[in-house]
Amino acid sequence: MFEVLPHLDPDPILGLSAAFSEDKNNAKIDLGVGVYKDEKGNTPILSSVAQAQHILLERETSKTYITPQGNQGYINNMLALLLGEQSPVMMADRVAAVQAPGGCGALRILSELLVRCNKGARVFVSDPTWANHIPLIGSAGLKLETYPYFDKAMAGINFDAMMEKLSEAGKGDVVLLHGCCHNPTGADLTNAQWDAVLTLAQEKGFLPFLDVAYLGFGDGLEEDAYGVRLLAENLPEVIIAASCSKNFGLYRERVGLAAIITDSSKVKKIAQGQIQSVARGIYSMPPSYGGALVDIILSDTALKQDWVSEVNSMRNRMHSLRTMLVEKLEENGAQKDFSFLNTQKGMFSFLCITPEQVRQVRAQHSVYFVDSSRVNIAGINKNNVDTLAKALVSVL
C-alpha cells in the first residue's frame, strides 16, 4: 500500500536543524528554529513555570479527563490576557473558546470551523507568512489567497499594497493577521495601521483571523494586544488563535487557545458547541498539564508578576541583541544599512539578503537560517555576534 506514496522533501527548518547537528564546525551558529535561547544558548524553564510545576504536583489528585473545552481557569485567564480584564465582549458573554494543543491546534480547529460555516471561504494570508499557516489552513479545505505585506527592497511593510488587496475581501472572506511580532519578518503594523484595518473590515465585512503567538515580545503585554482588542471590541465577529509556547516557554507542552467572538450570547452558545465538536473530531479530549500551569501562574498575583518580569526580560534582551548586531555589522564595514532591524519586533527578523547569500554564509561560515533570510534573533549572543557579523559582511 505505502509504495504509492510520493517522496516529500524535508521541512526546510527541520532540514536545517539536521544539517546543523551534523556540522563539525565548533563555531557554527543556529538561527533557524524558532525557540527562545538565553545567553548560553539554552531554552530554560521559566522560574514562574518551575514554581507552578511544584504547585501542580502537590495539588493534582487525578489524571482523569478534564472538561471537553479544557481547563476553564486557563481559558478565562488567557481571554483576560488577550482581550483585557474588563473586556466588553467577555462581559457580554460573546466569546466561545477551547483550550487547544498549541497554537497550531488552535489554527486548525478554527479552520475546520470555518469550513463548517462556509466551505467556499477565502482566507487571505500575508506574503510572506509563517510557513505552517499554509498547510494548517489549506488542508482544512479553505481557499488561500495572499496579500502583499513585506517589501524587502524597502525593508518594511508595503501598507498601501496590503490595503489595496484586502479591499477585495468581503463578507464571507477571512483575513489572517499576525497579532504582533510578525513571523517571519518582525515587521508589525502600527496602531494607526490597525485602525485603518478596522475601518476596512467594517466597510467590507470580512472576518479577521488573528494569530497571537508572541504576546509580550514586541512592545509589552498590553501594547502588543492593541490590534486584537481593537478589532474584538469594534467588530461583530473575530476569531483568535493564541499560543503559550514562546511567552511561557511551554513549547513541548503544546498549550494554545482557539477563541470565537460572536455578535451575541445566543450565537456564542451555538459556537461553543460547534468548536467543541470540531475538537472532539480531531483529538477527542484536550491535554491538561500545560494549561494547568498557565492557569496557576495567571491566577496567582505574585507568580503572574514574576512571569511578567520574565517576559519583559526576554523582550528587552532581544531588543538589545538587534542593536548589538546592527552595531557589529557597521563595525565590520557592512555597506548595507541594517538599521531597519532595530524597528522589527519579536524573535524574528528578515535580513533582506538573497537566498544565494544565505546559502553562501551557511556553506562558508556554518551560520544556519532559512533561505528567505529569516533569522531567530534569540539565537544571537555576545559570544557569536562577532562571528555572525563578519560572516554576513563577507557575503554582501
The domains located in the chain, with CATH, are 10-44+314-395 (3.90.1150.10), 49-299 (3.40.640.10)
Cross-strand partners of 124: 145, 175
Of 113, 115, 119, 112, whose CA–CA distance to 136 is shortest? Answer: 112
Whether 146 has a pLDDT exceeding 90, the answer reads yes
Residue 155 is predicted with a pLDDT of 92
Q: Of residues 11 and 226, which shows the higher confidence score?
A: 226
Task: Choose, from 37, 173, 194, 246, the residue flagged as catalytic.
Answer: 246
pLDDT band at 77 (very low <50, low <70, confident <90, very high): very high
Whether 61 and 305 have beta carbons less than 8 Å apart is answered as: no
Has residue 14 got a pLDDT over 80? Answer: no
Query: Helix H segments across the chain?
Result: 12-22, 47-59, 72-83, 88-91, 102-117, 133-138, 159-166, 191-204, 221-224, 226-234, 265-283, 289-299, 301-331, 355-365, 385-395
Is residue 211 part of the annotated active site? The answer reads yes
Surface-to-core class of residue 254, CB atoms within 10 Å of its CB (0-12 exposed, 13-18 middle, 19+ buried): buried
Q: Which of 96, 97, 130, 292 is catalytic?
A: 130
Residue given cell 496602531 in the structure block: 191
Kindly tell me if the per-residue pLDDT of 9 is higher than 90.
no
Tell me the per-residue pLDDT of 354-388, one tens digit each, with 9 for 90 and over.
999 999 999 999 999 999 999 999 999 999 999 99
How high is the pLDDT of residue 120? 86
Segment 221-237 shows an average pLDDT of 98
Phi, psi angles (nearest 5°) of residue 349? -145, 150
Name the average pLDDT for the chain: 95
How confident is the model over 43-66, as a mean pLDDT? 96
Annotated catalytic, 378? no
* Catalytic annotation, pick one of 30, 211, 224, 295: 211
pLDDT band, very low/low/confident/very high, at 19 (cuts 50, 70, 90): confident
Say which of 97, 187, 213, 258 is annotated catalytic. Answer: 213
Average pLDDT over residues 44-56: 97
Contact by Cβ (8 Å): 20, 379 = no
Task: Tell me what pLDDT residue 170 has.
Answer: 95
**What is the pTM assigned to this prediction?**
0.94
Position 16 confidence tier, pLDDT thresholds 50, 70, 90 = confident
Identify the band that residue 11 occupies on the pLDDT scale cut at 50, 70 and 90. Answer: confident
pLDDT average, residue stretch 260-289? 96
The lowest-confidence range among 32-36, 98-102, 213-217, 246-250 is 32-36
What letter would DSSP give residue 346? S
pLDDT tier, 13 (very low <50, low <70, confident <90, very high otherwise): confident
Give percent above pLDDT 90 in the chain.
91
Quote the CA–CA distance of 340 and 351 in Å, as a whole number: 9
Determine whether 307 is an active site residue: no
Task: Note if 50 is an active site residue.
Answer: no
**pLDDT score for 33:** 84
